[in-house]
Amino acid sequence: MSARNILVINCGSSSIKFALVNEAQETFILSGLAERLGSPEAVLHWQQGEHKDSLVLPGADHRLALSHLLPVVQQAAAGALHGIGHRVVHGGEHFSGASRLDAASLQAIRQVAPLAPLHNPANLQGIEAAMKLFPNLVQVAVFDTAFHQSLPEHAYRYALPQALYAEHGVRRYGFHGTSHRYVSRKAAQISDLAYDASSWLVAHLGNGSSTCAVENGHSRDTSMGLTPLEGLVMGTRSGDVDPNLHGHLARTLGWSLEQIDSMLNKDSGLLGLSGLSNDMRTLEQAREQGHAGATLAIEVFCYRLAKSLAAMSCALRRLDGLIFTGGIGENSALIRSKTVDHLGLLGLKLDTQANARCVRGVAGAIHADGHPRVLVVPTNEERQIALDTLALLD
């Protein structure tokens, strides 16, 4: 049987990221982005090999953008498209793995939409549009939260009244599960270890960031919680703050819940600390030029990351290695170095030259000789979604 092609779709409220993945090829046949959907500036961009193209689609919604994408995908796949994999942010407690999409699974996704009001409704828009356009193709949902359904109760429960969990699902769910699963499996392969007999700390670092403890192929703890706001300092998200900050700001400044929520999600993190940018590349350049805010943002980011990784180690009985991934994790030698410097009690130490070499897609070991394993492993969530889709096809 020839190698199969899977279209991977990731829908935001006004965008669609997509990739055409062949199971036998490491690189994507086709990839691209439809952005500014629902506006006069809506546009579809795609790349196939070295060839790049764009199509302006004024006012296009998700369905119209997908209908224009269809012939491009069919041509790139030479007419052989075998399934569609959809990224869905929140699966609640209902989904512990990928699921074929049907009436029952769609209803379950709708039911947990209140847990991810910015994400699940947009994911559903893309799913429903794709199911109308591709009615004969198997379509699969892959959930960011599913990998973390293996957390023990003592790791996922908040110290809140029981009714909030039992009646409203208030608990820690975690996110970035597709990435944490992909890179921990890849790290085991690189290290010649059995995935189901290996233990990893993972730092997925980008505009959204999280840590995870992976033992024997299962997530045992993770830094994000009920929402993606909990945990690390991120691009514009605060990460952990005093839970009574809401009350303090409401009493002293008269802020509404909406104002506080917006500040914590959109105006905080690296952007809030630095007063300059949420982009780590910009902050590293500014730090070199003596910018105090950028310097502070980097210091806080690395210290809080190291604290989280040390906390995650409580979930493991041994440590086979620390993995850095995501846009920052794969490309910032400075962030990796500063973070590991805080983790001396775990025995971690980097090889300076190896650390400097692992940027722009270069994977590999960066630990100093005689010290525990530290790896840079580029993530590939689209490929993991395609593999999960293929598994259900089989």
Distances (CA, A) of 23 to 49, 304, 340: 17, 38, 35
| Strand pairing report for 16-22 and 5-11 | antiparallel
* 272 known member of a binding site: no
Secondary structure class of 89 (helix, strand, coil): coil
Q: Tokens for 97?
A: 């793995």
Run of H or E residues at 263:
helix 257-266
Q: What are phi and psi of 376, to 5 degrees?
A: -105, 120
* 280 known member of a binding site: yes
How far is C-alpha 384 from the chain's CA centre? 12
* 328 known member of a binding site: yes
Task: Give the span between the Cα atoms of 244 and 172, in whole angstroms.
Answer: 18
* 327 known member of a binding site: yes
- CB distance 91 to 45 below 8 Å: no
* 124 known member of a binding site: no
| Strand pairing report for 83-88 and 139-143 | parallel
* 330 known member of a binding site: yes
* 206 known member of a binding site: yes
Please give the full DSSP string across 275-323, using - where no structure is assigned. SS-S-HHHHHHHHHTT-HHHHHHHHHHHHHHHHHHHHHGGG-SS--EEE
Question: Is 144 among the residues known to form the active site?
Answer: yes
Task: Give the span between the Cα atoms of 110 and 125, in whole angstroms.
Answer: 11
Please give the full DSSP string across 125-162, using - where no structure is assigned. HHHHHHHHHSTTS-EEEEETTGGGGGS-HHHH--SS-H
* 234 known member of a binding site: no
The one catalytic residue in 53, 61, 144, 221 is 144
- CB distance 20 to 73 below 8 Å: yes
* 205 known member of a binding site: yes
User: Residue for token digits 């917006």?
Assistant: 262
Run of H or E residues at 65:
helix 62-76
Task: Give the span between the Cα atoms of 279 and 207, in whole angstroms.
Answer: 8
- Positive or negative torsion for Cα 93, 94, 100, 105: negative
Helix 245-253 and helix 257-266: axis angle, to 10°? 120
Torsion of CA 212, 215, 219, 224, to 10 degrees: -20
* 10 known member of a binding site: yes
* 17 known member of a binding site: yes
* 244 known member of a binding site: no
* 331 known member of a binding site: yes
Residues with catalytic function: 144
Annotated binding site for ATP: 17, 204-208, 279-281, 327-331
Annotated binding site for substrate: 87
Annotated binding site: 10, 17, 87, 204-208, 279-281, 327-331, 381
Annotated binding site for Mg(2+): 10, 381
